[in-house]
Amino acid sequence: MLHYYREMLLIRRFEEKAGQLYGMGLIGGFCHLYIGQEAVVVGIQSALNEGDSVITSYRDHGHMLACGMDAKGVMAELTGRRGGYSHGKGGSMHMFSREKNFYGGHGIVGGQVPLGTGLAFAHKYLKDGGVSAVYCGDGAINQGQVYESFNMAALWKLPVLFVIENNKYAMGTSQERASAGELHQRGASYGIPGYQVNGMDVLEVKAAADQWVNYIREGNGPVILEMKTYRYRGHSMSDPAKYRTKEEVEKMRSESDPIDQLKAKLLAGGHADEEKLKEIDREVKAIVIESAEFAQQSPEPDPSELWTDVLL
């Protein structure tokens, strides 16, 4: 539980700093913060093995950190510096780490789902026992390529966990106005089991992930988990989020915040005291401050980098 607390707090503090650097003009382009959704990726990643694959969309900084990618390299990529994971050429939405089996960060809505299904095919073909965790949002679930992926994954019994991070508003339209039916049932016509999970409780996410990752690893084919979660910030840093009330956001923060909930359980269960949790917070803040300093001091890419990593 202390590990989950630290991981969620690291993501929260990192994203708060990223938002600050964006406001200062040190991060350009798009920037989609993960604040509020931390329990989803921390819970899922804790159920995966070292050789498993991970792929997601553009709200991806939390996934990188949960995969064990270095905060300095992630922040430096946000500022477009040479020390970043894509050498300053990918920015917020396009970071990768072969070492951590993290395959992006993708800007095309739903575009990562067929790629993640392909990663699952590779695991099955190589017989390495790996599972592909494919994250997408409630807006992406209506894309046609998602259903082509469901069909192939079910047909070939691929080892893939489809995680729908349902934060209720996609790019700014509520799920109720944009999506018919229950999202976790979208694979029913292909015979893919689907389940809803409280994505604001890391322990519930972990329990569901443990159960269904094992089911997938045993050769039973794909599973869909719909995580009922919530983002506190707008879709991106340029979104004022006027489609919902401040009272709604505050209610979610005060009643369902994943970090506060786990903190309360740690204290109530005697697993940690206030001083221990403050120590974790200080440790996390130091990591984030170091990453921000590195991201500003790292040199910009040489212009010759324009011609590298170009595949024809």
Which regions of the chain does DSSP assign to beta strands (E)?
A: 53-55, 132-137, 160-166, 194-198, 223-228
Q: How far apart are CA 309 and CA 312, in angstroms?
A: 10
Those residues whose C-beta lies under 8 Å from the C-beta of residue 262, and which sit 6 or more positions away, are: 1, 4, 5, 8, 39, 202, 203
Domain membership flag for residue 53: yes
Instruction: Determine, yes or no, domain membership for 208.
Output: yes
Q: Is the pLDDT of residue 222 over 90?
A: yes
Ramachandran quadrant class, 27 (left: phi over 0; alpha: psi -120 to 50; beta: rest): beta
CA-to-CA dists, residue 66 to 26, 81, 159, 171, 250, angstroms: 24, 22, 21, 24, 26
CA 60 from centre of chain:
5
Edge to edge, the sheet with strand 132-137 lists 53-55, 132-137, 160-166, 223-228, 194-198
Check residue 129 and give its pLDDT: 97
- What pLDDT, on the 0 to 100 scale, is given for residue 85? 96
CATH, residue 129 = 3.40.50.970
Asked if residues 91 and 236 have their Cβ atoms less than 8 Å apart, the reply is no
CA-to-CA distance for 264 and 260, rounded, in angstroms?
6
Q: Looking at residue 279, what DSSP letter applies? A: H
| Separation of alpha carbons 54 and 145, rounded Å | 18
pLDDT in tens, 60-111: 999 999 999 999 999 999 999 999 999 999 999 999 999 999 999 999 999 9
Question: 167 is written with which tokens?
Answer: 């934060």
Tens of pLDDT, residues 143-199: 999 999 999 999 999 999 999 999 999 999 999 999 999 999 999 999 999 999 999
Domain membership flag for residue 304: no
Query: Looking at the domain assignment, is residue 287 inside a domain?
Result: no
Return the closest-CA partner of residue 158 out of 206, 224, 98.
224
The answer to whether residue 171 sits within a structural domain is: yes
Domain that holds residue 238: 36-70+97-272
Quick one: pLDDT band at residue 310, thresholds 50, 70, 90?
A: confident
Cβ contact 291:17 at 8 Å: yes
CA–CA gap between residue 231 and residue 253 (Å, rounded): 10
Residue 14: inside a domain: no
% of the chain exceeding 90 in pLDDT: 96
User: Is residue 294 pLDDT above 80, yes or no?
Assistant: yes
pLDDT of residue 154: 98
Examine residue 186 and state whether it is found in any structural domain, yes or no: yes
Parallel, antiparallel or unpaired: strands 160-166 and 194-198: unpaired
DSSP state for residue 123 in the 8-state scheme: H
Using an 8 Å Cβ cutoff, are 202 and 42 in contact? yes
Please count the residues of the chain.
Answer: 312
The overall average pLDDT reported for the chain is 96
Task: Give CA–CA dist 101/129, Å, rounded.
Answer: 14
Determine the Cα–Cα distance for residues 246 and 230; give it in Å rounded to an integer.
Answer: 13
In this predicted structure, what is the pLDDT of residue 173? Answer: 93
Residue 126 has pLDDT above 90, yes or no: yes
**Is there a domain that residue 311 lies in?**
no
Quote the pLDDT of residue 311. 82
Asked whether the predicted pLDDT for residue 312 surpasses 80, the reply is no
| Contact status, residue 196 vs residue 159, Cβ threshold 8 Å | no
The distance of Cα 222 from the centroid of its chain, to the nearest Å, equals 19
pLDDT at 309 over 90: no
Count of structural domains within the chain: 1
